[in-house]
Every structure is written in C-alpha cells, then in structure tokens.
Amino acid sequence: MAIRNLRLEGDEILKKKSREVEVIDEKIQILIDDMIETMHKYNGVGLAGVQVGVLKRVIVIDLYDDKGPIVMINPVIQKTKGEQEVEEGCLSFPNQFAKVVRPEEVIAEYTDREGKRMRVKAKELLAQAISHEVDHLNGEVFMDKIIPGTLEYIEPEEK
C-alpha cells in the first residue's frame, strides 16, 4: 500500500469525467488500498480515483464507525430524497470549507471490490459523502455548488 499524491485545486484532471471500471483486477485492488490509506492519512471521509490522478469510477468512504471503509466501483445514484444544507470540505481543496445543499437521502447502486452488485440507502453524512464523491467522478467539485458567501479558509495548525 502507498500514499498517493492528491490532485489539488486548479489541476485540470479534477474537471474530467472518470471512466467505468471494466475489470476488477489487481491494479484496481491496489488502487483501492492506496486510496483508503491516502484518505486516512489526510483524515478524509471520502476519496475518488480522480483525486489521486486515476480517471476510474472508484470511490472510497469511511465514516470512522465500526463498519470500516466502503468501496464503491462504478457507483450510480438512482434516487435522491430531501435536501440538507451541510458544511463541506474536500481533500483537493485543503483548509477550505463552505456550505452546500446535498440530498438528505440517496439510493445508490455500485459494485464492491469482490465484484458483487450492491445497493445502499444512505442518509445524512453517508448520503452527503456519496453525492460529493460521485460528483468528482463526473468532473464536478464542491466549489461548483457552494452557497455564495459561505466559503471559509481555515489556517492549518502549525505542526
């Protein structure tokens, strides 16, 4: 496993649409492991392949509960319900936070890392994370959706 370099604000790749994963091979498994490790290193809740420079429809999410990381390959949001105004940040936009409107609930289908088709009904933070990461796969970033006047830059703490 390895920490991958994050693609940051201004990197053109973040605006590109990711491609479907055709085969879940060893390269994809290594990518998934590296993405989980990278997300944890930077204390992220989610990470999309494009954020580490790989235009594949792969996302990882960890709510840091007892369930461990969720791996979603080729995720598709089938249905959304309600709206929630949430504070959001992104590993590709370090130390920047803003309010965005996300669905309160989403139903998503995806393939897990073993190749099984799965369906999840997600609420609140998980719904927010899935929406945020699927946006990345479509070449959209949360900065495209912020509520005007809510962007804040938080100075990083000295280490």
Of 38, 99, 29, which Cα lies nearest the Cα of 58? 29
Catalytic position from the list 37, 83, 105, 133: 133
> Which residues are within 8 A (CB) of 159 and not within 5 positions of it... i.e. 6 or more apart?
none
- Can you tell me the distance from the alpha carbon of 46 to that of 154, in angstroms, rounded to the nearest whole number? 20
Which amino acid is it at 151? Answer: L
Q: How many Å is the Cα radius of gyration of the chain?
A: 15
Tokens 């998503």 correspond to 108
E runs forming strands in 29-83: 46-48, 58-61, 70-81
Active site includes 133? yes
Angle at 34 between CA 137 and CA 27, to 5 degrees: 80
Active-site amino acid positions: 133
